[in-house]
Amino acid sequence: MSKQSQREEAERLIRETMEKRNLVIKQGMTRIEAVCGKCGAPNRVQAEKGQARVKFACKNCGQKQETL
């Protein structure tokens, strides 16, 4: 099965399910994987829909910064 046929099949299934009203699609919070600029530790930051830059404090060193 090619990627195009798989994509078409998935779209068809989603359309059929939405017509039956069994599936509700909504957008929620976004998780951003940020790296601390001071110590280099990885941080997971939650962002509201539509926000690109979020202020956070590093979980290791406590440095206050903003995601890119």
Domain boundaries, the chain: 1-64
Within 8 A by CB and 6+ apart from 54, the residues are: 32, 45, 46, 47, 66, 67
Helix (H, G, I), strand (E, B) or coil at 5: helix
pLDDT digits (tens, 9 = 90+) for 19-67: 887 667 777 888 899 999 899 999 999 988 878 889 999 998 989 999 8
CB 39 within 8 A of CB 63: yes
pTM above 0.85, yes or no: no
Q: What share of the chain is helix, strand, coil (3-state, %, to 5)?
A: 25, 25, 50
- The closest of 32, 33, 64, 29 to 50, measured between CA atoms, is 29
